[in-house]
Structure 1
């Protein structure tokens, strides 16, 4: 799907799911835009937290014997 430079996001969804989503959001007092932006922010925050967690875990992990042996191998 093409990505333009505007701030718009366009996607196609099943009409029944669209109707159900709008109904549910309306009952919760949310607009699609508000809901989407909240979900997008949460996704990006959680994704960044996972990346930071894995980077920290990788940095604190001791070298394996195989890696250590290869890195110190004399040629």
Structure 2
């Protein structure tokens, strides 16, 4: 999938899934755009927290391995 400079995101899904998703969101009073933005923000926020944790974990492992070699 190409990544352009515009703010548009285009994905292709099965027509049945699209209908079901729009119906479920409509029942909840949501739009696809709002639902997606909320989920995207949540994913980005969580991935930043995980990457910070992973870096700390990796540094700890590297320090442990280097002290074993002494």
Higher helix share: 2
Structure 1 residue 2: deviation in Å? 1.7
* Aligned equivalents of 2:31, 2:6: Cα separation in 1: 20
Normalised TM-score (structure 2):
0.83
Structure 1 residue 9: deviation in Å? 0.4
Runs of 4+ in 1 over 6 A off after TM superposition: none
Counterpart for residue 10 of structure 1: 10
| Secondary structure, counterpart of 1:59 in structure 2 | helix
Counterpart for residue 37 of structure 1: 37
Unaligned runs of 5+ in 2: none
Unaligned runs of 5+ in 1: none
Structure 1 residue 60: deviation in Å? 4.0
Structure 1 residue 58: deviation in Å? 3.0
Normalised TM-score (structure 1):
0.78
Structure 1 residue 55: deviation in Å? 1.8
The reply to whether residue 63 of structure 1 matches residue 68 of structure 2 is: no
- In the comparison of the two structures, how many residue pairs are matched? 68
